[in-house]
Amino acid sequence: MSNRATRLFPRSKRLRLGLAALAVLIAALALGGYLYERHRTGSIYHPHARFIPEPTPTLPTHGPARFAWPLYGYSKEHTRFFPAPARVFPPFKQLWVRTGDSLLEFPPSLYGDHIFQLADDGVLSAINLHTGHTFWQRRIGSLSASTPAAVGNVVYATVLARPDGTEKGEVVALAYTTGRILWSRALPSPSESSPLVDDGRVFFGSQNGTVYALDAHNGNVIWVYHASGAVKASPTLSDGVLYFGDYSGHVQAISERTGLRLWVSGSGGALLGSGTFYSTAAVIYGRVFLGNTDGRVYAYDASTGGLDWAVQTGDYVYASPAVTNAPGLGPTIYLGSYNGTFYALNARSGQIVWHYNTGGRISGSATIVGRVVYFADLGEHRTYGLGISTGRIVFEMHTGSFDPVISDGQNIYLTGYTGLYGLAP
């Protein structure tokens, strides 16, 4: 039989047939890979998913919290929306500028007349918001990338490397007025998770996947939770539940009180593995919104972890979403992609409402102050302010790379590449 087959199909012809079959196989694999990739990282819409309308937040009517920006993302829900009065609107005049040599990757926090800025070199500065002058400075690490939490008379901060250069993390509590260290806790791995403080507890994640709940008064461990990948985001709190994504491509919800898991969901991810969640989640409207390095912006049901929608931008989304109820648009999400495009998305459906292209790379997160959304372009080192309803540019400043603006309801404070600016309307 083999001799007959050889006579019927000479070697050259058999070779051609083999190459043709191989080409068909390669084409089939390529098509299958493309369809698989598109299915796992394309846009997904579930138009009838549960959506819970909520009123637009307002400023507290009294007390020190009225003009405070105490946490990364402003609120515990990390919506990054500050309901500033209408007068806090461009153009601005410069009140003061504070320059330095170290990169300012994360924005400061603000409480009372103090701004707390943690630079990438691990130096924490307490700054007079009226003058830009220094109240105190303290080196709490040798490398850091997070925003301190300022709650009452205490400031809490995490670092990626300790002051002696050891590439392990630490969390520190300092006195508001003097910078004296009240307590510190060494961590077995680096942390760039901005602390969240609630009900006498401090919550943050770390690069070995551990999420901590510590006693805010003494740093004692209350509980720990072990995720499947690094947790670089700040945990987001809503109705007693903490939400966060990790570097294994999963989003999880755990109990604030016990640390027990309530649900976990995947990202769909990329062809050879899940995308990673660096983005800090915003939780509002019964949903969890966050970006992923697979290029998508995700919306999950906050109660079940079910996927409500996922929108593909075409490049990494490191940014955390800013969310508000925009006049004329309704509930809207704002964030940028590494493709240089800044998006406004319908929070209910995920559909793109408007977009603005900067021509650079958007890595950091936006914040909404009143009716203006501010974001920075890492590629262009420039900060933009757009009308939340129109997407039209109303502010531009030739500095800034990551998370640019916070406010006290009277002025804005803009984080440049290495400088901090006080700006008044």
For the chain, 425 residues long, give each residue's pLDDT as a single digit of tens.
444 444 444 555 555 655 555 555 555 444 444 444 444 568 888 888 999 988 887 766 656 666 799 999 999 999 999 999 999 999 999 999 999 889 999 999 999 999 999 999 999 999 999 999 999 999 999 999 999 999 989 999 999 999 999 999 999 999 999 999 999 999 999 999 999 999 999 999 999 999 999 999 999 999 999 999 999 999 999 999 999 999 999 999 999 999 999 999 987 544 444 589 999 999 999 999 999 999 999 999 999 999 999 999 999 999 999 999 999 999 999 999 999 999 999 999 999 999 999 999 999 999 999 999 999 999 999 999 999 999 999 999 999 999 999 999 999 999 999 999 999 99
**Burial (0-12, 13-18, 19+ Cβ within 10 Å), 405:** buried
Query: For residue 48, what pLDDT is reported?
Result: 82
Q: d(Cα 337, Cα 36) in Å, to the nearest integer?
A: 23
Query: For residue 27, what pLDDT is reported?
Result: 52
Q: In terms of CATH, what superfamily is 42-424? A: YVTN repeat-like/Quinoprotein amine dehydrogenase (2.130.10.10)
Q: The pTM is what?
A: 0.89
Non-local CB neighbours of 373 within 8 Å, separated by 6+ positions? 322, 334, 344, 366, 367, 385, 386, 387, 388
Q: d(Cα 340, Cα 8) in Å, to the nearest integer?
A: 60
Q: d(Cα 159, Cα 144) in Å, to the nearest integer?
A: 5
Tokens (6 digits) for 98: 């504070």
Tokens (6 digits) for 178: 């003097």
- Could you write out the three-class secondary structure of 129-146? CCCCCEEEEEECCCECCC
Ramachandran bin of 322, using left for φ above 0, alpha for ψ from -120 to 50, beta for the remaining angles: beta
Long-range contacts of 158-162 (CB under 8 A, 24+ apart): 158/191, 158/192, 158/193, 158/194, 158/195, 158/204, 159/122, 159/190, 159/191, 160/190, 160/191, 160/192, 161/122, 161/190, 162/186
Domain ranges across the chain: 42-424
Q: d(Cα 46, Cα 52) in Å, to the nearest integer?
A: 15
- How many residues appear in the chain? 425
Tokens (6 digits) for 315: 């490049």
The type of residue at 131 is T
CB atoms near residue 181 (< 10 Å) = 12
